[in-house]
Amino acid sequence: MVLVTSVRDYINRMLQDISGMKVLILDSETVSNVSIVYSQSELLQKEVFLVEMIDSISASKESMSHLKAVYFIRPTSENIQKLRYQIGNPRFGEYHLFFSNLLKDTQIHNLADSDEQEVVQQVQEYYADFVAGDPYHFTLNMASNHLYMLPAVVDPSGLQRYADRVVDGIAAVFLALKRRPVIRYQRTSDTAKRIAQETAKLMYQQESGLFDFRRTESSPLLLVIDRRDDPVTPLLNQWTYQAMVHELIGLQDNKVDLRAIGSLPKDQQEVVLSSEQDAFFKSNMYENFGDIGMNIKRMVDDFQQVAKSNQNIQTVEDMARFVDNYPEYKKMQGNVSKHVTLVTEMSKLVEARKLMLVSQTEQDLACNGGQGAAYEAVTDLLNNDSVSDIDRLRLVMLYALRYEKENPVQLMQLFNKLASRSPKYKPGLVQFLLKQAGVEKRTGDLFGNRDLLNIARNMARGLKGVENVYTQHQPLLFQTMESITRGRLRDVDYPFVGDHFQQGRPQEVVIFMVGGTTYEESRSVALQNATNAGIRFILGGTAVLNSKRFLKDLEEAQRISRSGSHMV
Amino acid sequence: MATRNRTLLFRKYRNSLRSVRAPLASSSLEMASLTGTRSGVGPVIEMASTSLLNPNRSYAPVSTEDPGNSSKGALTVGLPPAWVDVSEEISVNIQRARTKMAELGKAHAKALMPSFGDGKEDQHNIESLTQEITFLLKKSEKQLKMLSATGSSEDSSVRKNVQDGVDLEINLGRNRYRPEEDDFGDMLNERQMAKIRKGEELSIEREKEIQQVVESVNDLAQIMKDLSALVIDQGTIVDRIDYNIQNVASTVEDGLKQLQKAERRQRHGGMVMCASVLVILCFIMLLLLILKEIFL
């Protein structure tokens, strides 16, 4: 709740003190921030009758001075330029400027310079600079996400911009929560270290006055970790509702774009999956596919009951009741068709790509041992014609990550087979992945085979059997959260920044994953929070990954590092 | 949640920059007026400088210089377009309807309580209130339709949103209105039983009242049908801000293309050609007529 509520509070405060008809002007990033927590009808109730983008509004010449302009934009230099022009040639009666992050003095000076007609009434910083999709999960929706994989020398200015955006986002989250955290980072990741240090500098030195909040008993913890410590989770196929939709179709800002899929009625081509607005989704987003099917059937049955009772209208009272219940009925109908459409599409994809078969092997690779059996299974699937290219690639990658050091000959054989079977495969991608996220680079115990306790635990689990073969994988994040809960996060692996120190356990933890999070991990966090262990976890990342996105980032990084090495 | 107010710093910068700008501006005006008309150089400078030093520049007096080359022209607060008045009227009507509904609720409660009198004046009260409310709602609906008049493209999106907002209000009001109808029906049945016992002439009255109920239900159905077309579905894609922005952008572009097409067609249209040819012919005929008169 906490992140979504903060952003909604910011927007409410922006709009409530300004009376009269308003126009809300956003930029391409804040439009996501706002759309995901605030609906159009709520805007209308606050008398905001026009929403525009700062880019397109420059082109129009029409003057609407009966409207008051409310700007909510990021304080980037491009936005400030456009804003300067628009203030200098004002179209609206009043201008109220809200920035989603910290302004530099020079920027304020420039704006004041352009405000010749004194139309600006207020300039405020409201720190809603992140996309709060779920109660405990946020993202920054960054475009060039692959930069974290490259060493700093390749593109120093690009990496600086990347780090700046991340630091801004993290700072905004803590300002919204009104906390100043103790910061730890993953030792093996340069990008994580850099971001942690720059965040500390911002919070404790540059803007220490702004971050000087009331100290609570135990400081919250910010943990900056790297995606490459757990490359397995984004590669796996998912079987819980929210994660599965993102993996198979794609979920962007809680919207699903179904236009690519066949012929659907007009109102089902783009749908919204938001836990805030959809009660069915809220109770089913973390359930696995089988259970979802049953729940949907139950929902459809309920709906059919209601529809039938609406059919026999005998008396005036019945008519009145029907008219009364009509909006509810229509809403229910829309909801039912949305979920039925989604599940149908996903079933079709599962069938077409033989995902049941593929995913079983994937889960075995991720969770269970047995190199020989794994090799057999992967080879079989590579030979199977109905398995798609991307699935073959994923299988080989998972195998390589797990059995990197065992039996190199068989590993080479798999690489060759992959190259021969998949014409679109870019050679060397698996090796690149190993270079980035191989066993030497990783801190955490990804496969539970590093220390004896974990090995024993795995053996016990193997003997006991699992409830569901397809959801047996636990992301590495789960173990990290457990360590934090027990107060046993190793200083060697996750050092503190500067001279920070934390006694005891923190009560609030924000984990930021450089490189992106997955919905499987956000599910893990939500379930952990539901157990009420006394610690509240919040997860955030530079993007929300599925296997397609993760592979795209890998390819992009590989392409740049190759062209870089040519130049060198 | 933390916020930071930068308005003071902004105003400080703005004021300091304004004082820096003012002497520069007056010097540039001097240059302009010197190169312009020679007469009235003195008074122009004086008036201009006083208007610049005047803090309330938003209502600055009209300067004697050409408004075309003055970039610091006063920002006149434009009058909002006429449809804004209509939308405000609709809001006022809805407010009135709401208070009347509250009254109606009270009147119902009062009528349903056992009383000594016949209850006829309560009935009248209720009927008149009901009619007023229906009338107000119908009027709001008509005015809503008026809102879809012609106008500029951007204005139309604002108008459409205003329409949606008013719809929301009307629907919120309607949901509160409907339960009252049921009570009225129940009450009628009670009275129905009583009146049947009383006799035949009372049964005619009952028929009249049933007619009224049927009429009001029909009215309600009609209004519901009209307005349900404009209902915003909450939680669907139509309720998302980003979706609407994309759609507005594309429809505005489409609208522009259509307008351009229409303009082109109209210009090359046969009608314009015909009309102009006829007018020219008329003039020629008139000329011939005059010439005939002169030379005859």
pLDDT at A429 over 50: yes
User: CB A108 to CB B13 under 8 A?
Assistant: yes
Instruction: Indicate which of B236, B244, B248, B252 best probes the interface with A, i.e. most A CBs within 10 Å of its own CB.
Output: B236
pLDDT at B20 over 50: yes
Closest by CA to A136, choosing from A2, A308, A323, A281, is A2
Please report whether residue B94 resides in a domain.
Answer: yes
User: CB A175 to CB B1 under 8 A?
Assistant: yes
Q: Does B210 touch chain A (CB under 8 A)?
A: no
pLDDT at A186 over 50: yes
Give the DSSP letter of residue B155: H
- How large is the average pLDDT for residues B17-22? 81
Contacts of B1 in chain A (CB under 8 A): 6, 9-10, 127, 175-178
Q: What is the 3-state secondary structure (H, E, C) of B117-138?
A: CCCHHHHHHHHHHHHHHHHHHH
- Cβ atoms of residues B13 and A116 within 8 Å: no
Please report whether residue B27 resides in a domain.
Answer: no
Q: How many CB pairs under 8 A join A and B?
A: 200
Q: Does B245 touch chain A (CB under 8 A)?
A: yes
Contacts of A53 in chain B (CB under 8 A): 245, 249
Please report whether residue B104 resides in a domain.
Answer: yes
User: CB A118 to CB B2 under 8 A?
Assistant: no
Closest by CA to A176, choosing from A402, A563, A463, A508, is A508
Structure tokens at A556: 């992009």
Taking each helix axis as running N to C, give the angle between helix A429-437 and helix A389-402, from 0 to 180 degrees, rounded to the nearest 10.
40
Please report whether residue B256 resides in a domain.
Answer: no
**Model pLDDT for residues B231-264, shown as the tens digit of each residue:** 556 667 888 888 888 777 777 788 889 999 988 8
- How large is the average pLDDT for residues A42-59? 85
CA separation for the pair A44, B164 (Å, rounded): 8
Kindly report the nearest CA distance between residue B290 and chain A, in angstroms: 51
Nearest to B168 among A44, A277, A330 (CB): A44
**Model pLDDT for residues A265-289, shown as the tens digit of each residue:** 877 888 999 998 899 999 999 999 9
What does each C-alpha distance from B140 to A462, B86, B93, B294 come to in angstroms? 70, 9, 7, 66
Please report whether residue B296 resides in a domain.
Answer: no
User: CB B6 to CB A40 under 8 A?
Assistant: no
Q: Which of A215-219, A310-314, B94-98, B286-290 has the lowest mean pLDDT?
A: A310-314
- Output b/e per residue, B107-121; b: 16+ Cβ within 10 A: bbeebeeeeeeebee
Tell me the whole-structure pTM to 2 decimals: 0.78
pLDDT at B56 over 70: no
pLDDT at A523 over 80: yes
For residue B55, what pLDDT is reported? 38
Print the domain residue range for B101.
Answer: 82-113+121-147+198-234
Kindly report the nearest CA distance between residue A109 and chain B, in angstroms: 6
Closest by CA to B100, choosing from B177, B6, B183, B193, is B177
Please report whether residue B65 resides in a domain.
Answer: no
Contacts of B152 in chain A (CB under 8 A): 62
**Model pLDDT for residues A111-147, shown as the tens digit of each residue:** 999 998 999 999 999 999 999 999 999 999 998 899 9
Angle at A502 between CA A498 and CA A508, to 5 degrees: 110
CA separation for the pair A343, A403 (Å, rounded): 35
User: CB B75 to CB A119 under 8 A?
Assistant: yes
**Mean pLDDT of the residues in chain A:** 89
Give the chain A residue nearest B161 (alpha carbons): A49
User: CB A40 to CB B4 under 8 A?
Assistant: no
B residues 19-48 near A, CB within 8 Å? 21
Comparing B13 with B82, the larger pLDDT belongs to: B13
Nearest to B2 among A44, A123, A127 (CB): A127
Contacts of B170 in chain A (CB under 8 A): none
Contacts of B213 in chain A (CB under 8 A): 316
Nearest to B75 among A10, A52, A117 (CB): A117
Please report whether residue B126 resides in a domain.
Answer: yes
Contacts of B56 in chain A (CB under 8 A): none
CA separation for the pair B39, B37 (Å, rounded): 6
For residue B116, what pLDDT is reported? 66
B residues 97-116 near A, CB within 8 Å? none
Comparing B239 with B46, the larger pLDDT belongs to: B239
Give chain B's domain count.
1
Beta pairing, strands B3-5 & A120-126 = antiparallel
pLDDT at A154 over 90: no
Contacts of B217 in chain A (CB under 8 A): 316, 319-320
User: CB A270 to CB B178 under 8 A?
Assistant: no
Instruction: Indicate which of B239, B244, B247, B250 best probes the interface with A, i.e. most A CBs within 10 Å of its own CB.
Output: B239
Kindly report the nearest CA distance between residue B253 and chain A, in angstroms: 12
For residue A477, what pLDDT is reported? 94
pLDDT-derived band at B109 (thresholds 50, 70, 90) equals confident
Q: Does B255 touch chain A (CB under 8 A)?
A: no
What type of residue is A172? Answer: A
